[in-house]
Amino acid sequence: MIDARIKHDPASAPGLVAQAIAVCGTQREAAARLGVSREYLRQLSNGRAGMSYSLQVSLERLKDAANEYE
């Protein structure tokens, strides 16, 4: 199990969101895959919303899954 107190990095949200959009093709598709709204993704990418640990994990998994197919 990952320790959220050590691994949680809300400052990484803009980069993770950009990678998710690149993987999914559109902000709409990324939001749908992550189960969040497009507006929330936009706020995350602008640093105007906080990122939960569980969303960070989901964003990292999406990025890692894409890297497996390269």
Cut 0.75: pTM above it: yes
Task: Let me know if residue 6 belongs to a domain.
Answer: no
Flag whether pLDDT at 2 surpasses 60.
Answer: no
For residue 55, what are the domain limits? 11-65
Task: Let me know if residue 20 belongs to a domain.
Answer: yes
Task: Let me know if residue 52 belongs to a domain.
Answer: yes
Question: Which residue do the tokens 């709409």 mark?
Answer: 28
Q: How many domains does the chain have?
A: 1
Task: Let me know if residue 39 belongs to a domain.
Answer: yes
Element containing residue 68 per DSSP (H, E): helix 53-68
Task: Let me know if residue 2 belongs to a domain.
Answer: no
pLDDT tens track for 7-50 = 889 999 999 999 999 999 999 999 999 999 999 999 999 999 99
pLDDT at residue 26, rounded to an integer: 96
Task: Let me know if residue 5 belongs to a domain.
Answer: no
Task: Let me know if residue 4 belongs to a domain.
Answer: no
Q: What is the C-alpha separation between 20 and 58, in angstroms, rounded?
A: 10
- Cβ distance 65 to 20 under 8 Å? no
